[in-house]
Amino acid sequence: MKRKTTKKIYVGHVPVGGDAPITVQSMTNTKTKDIEGTVSQILRLEDAGCEIIRFAVNDNDDVAAIAPIKSRIHIPVVVDIQFDYRLAVASAIAGADCIRINPGNIGNRDKVYEVVAACKDKNIPIRVGVNSGSLHQDCLDEFGGVNEQSMVQSGLREINVLESMGFNNLKISLKASDVGLCIRAYEAFSSVSDYPLHLGITEAGPSFQGTIKSAVGMGVLLNEGIGDTIRVSLTADPVEEVRVGLGILKSLGLRQEGIDIVSCPTCARTNIDLLGLVDEAQMRLADMDKNLKVALMGCAVNGPGEAREADIGIAGGRGEGLIFKKGKILRKVPESCLLDALIEEIERM
């Protein structure tokens, strides 16, 4: 795939757009003013691989929490503002690394200007967050309701407002919960603008449904070279969002870090507890700091052959299994110590 070239901006120390790697973001679901709870969630998200964190700022107590939270975490902070421009200005001053606003919700031009002035002063970007559920009435009227044209025009108008104030340190999202609409909106926007794109399917739902929607929507776009940073939205622990986001990137070869487990679906040829082995392997390999493809296959008939491209793997037999490397059998091991033996080999690699 050829990645669309976009303008590079910086959210704190993390580049977004241009030739920068596609980053994975998440959003906290603690009360921001609960500093302990928020920091502890962000540290868990960092461990999972989160590279940029967003939290909502709803009042002055939340603004006051920005600096203490930032002093205890290691990834840049995007502050999410709904309506009150004063909170956006105060958040920029308090050390936010990016402000997410929908200029249309902020109010008149003077208020937007105040936000722009604060962001310019602090040299931080703004994310324009277009959402299919809150498009301008004039865009809806002009383009016949919620569709990709009204979403794209809404985004362009908001960008025009900021550009007219001499501000172009921007990224943009065009979120919808309808996967097809979301894909069309990002495709259409990407064809007319080179601002970096934050991809997301909004209100994607609980883990299972949200993972599918996000993987389909973002997968299509990323495969077309569209998207510079991603956030999976799930009604779940945000750590899940990061795992899914990284999984989407890995499945398209856009990330190589970490262990990539491939496993067979099992069938009548399986004579070992492959499901149990895979569950345990996922847990034990989750924090392994190696870039390897590990295959866990149910049988020796097809296993090593089908998983030839894996760096290392196991193939189950009856009460025992084979360990193989790059399709070549290394040794036979009893089932009870198959996983331990595999992990020993991986540690040596």
Stretch that binds ligand SF4, among 131-139, 301-309, 320-328, 335-343 (CB under 6 A): 301-309
Annotation-wise, does 148 bind a ligand?
Answer: no
Label each residue of the chain as H, E or C.
CCCCCCCCEEECCEEECCCCCCEEEEECCCCCCCHHHHHHHHHHHHHHCCCEEEEECCCHHHHHHHHHHHCCCCCCEEEECCCCHHHHHHHHHHCCCEEEECHHHHCCHHHHHHHHHHHHHHCCCEEEEEEHHHCCHHHHHHHCCCCHHHHHHHHHHHHHHHHCCCCCCEEEEEECCCHHHHHHHHHHHHHHCCCCEEECCCCCCCHHHHHHHHHHHHHHHHHCCCCCEEECCCCCCHHHHHHHHHHHHHHCCCCCCCEEEEECCCCCCCCCCHHHHHHHHHHHHCCCCCCEEEEEECCCCCHHHHCCCCCEEEEECCCEEEEEECCEEEEEEEHHHHHHHHHHHHHHC
Stretch that binds ligand SF4, among 151-159, 208-216, 238-246, 292-300 (CB under 6 A): 292-300
* C-alpha span between 328 and 313 (Å, rounded): 10
Task: Examine residue 192 and tell whether it contacts ligand SF4 (CB under 6 A).
Answer: no
Select from 2, 108, 110, 267 the one that contacts ligand SF4 (CB under 6 A).
267
Task: Examine residue 310 and tell whether it contacts ligand SF4 (CB under 6 A).
Answer: no
Judged by beta carbon, residue 193 or residue 270, the one nearer ligand SF4 is: 270
Select from 144, 166, 253, 265 the one that contacts ligand SF4 (CB under 6 A).
265
Task: Examine residue 299 and tell whether it contacts ligand SF4 (CB under 6 A).
Answer: yes
Task: Examine residue 17 and tell whether it contacts ligand SF4 (CB under 6 A).
Answer: no
Task: Examine residue 301 and tell whether it contacts ligand SF4 (CB under 6 A).
Answer: yes
Name the CA dihedral angle for 136, 214, 2, 190, rounded to a multiple of 10 degrees: 0
Shortest separation between residue 265's beta carbon and ligand SF4, angstroms: 5
Task: Examine residue 270 and tell whether it contacts ligand SF4 (CB under 6 A).
Answer: yes
* C-alpha span between 7 and 3 (Å, rounded): 12
Task: Examine residue 303 and tell whether it contacts ligand SF4 (CB under 6 A).
Answer: yes
Shortest separation between residue 313's beta carbon and ligand SF4, angstroms: 10
Select from 49, 298, 313, 317 the one that contacts ligand SF4 (CB under 6 A).
298
Task: Examine residue 16 and tell whether it contacts ligand SF4 (CB under 6 A).
Answer: no
Task: Examine residue 313 and tell whether it contacts ligand SF4 (CB under 6 A).
Answer: no
CA distances from 140 to 132, 148, 201, 246 (A): 10, 11, 20, 35
Nearest residue to ligand SF4 by CB is 298
Annotation-wise, does 306 bind a ligand?
Answer: yes
Judged by CB under 6 A, the number of residues near ligand SF4 is 13
Judged by beta carbon, residue 1 or residue 301, the one nearer ligand SF4 is: 301
* C-alpha span between 270 and 85 (Å, rounded): 61
Judged by beta carbon, residue 277 or residue 346, the one nearer ligand SF4 is: 277
Shortest separation between residue 296's beta carbon and ligand SF4, angstroms: 9
**How many Cα atoms within 13 Å fall on the side-chain side of residue 343?**
16
Task: Examine residue 162 and tell whether it contacts ligand SF4 (CB under 6 A).
Answer: no
Annotation-wise, does 337 bind a ligand?
Answer: no
Annotation-wise, does 347 bind a ligand?
Answer: no
Binding-residue pattern over the window 205 to 244 for ligand SF4, x denoting contact by CB under 6 A: ----------------------------------------
Select from 74, 86, 109, 269 the one that contacts ligand SF4 (CB under 6 A).
269
Known binding-site positions for [4Fe-4S] cluster? 264, 267, 299, 306
Positions that interact with ligand SF4 (CB under 6 A): 264-267, 269-270, 297-299, 301-303, 306
Known binding-site positions? 264, 267, 299, 306
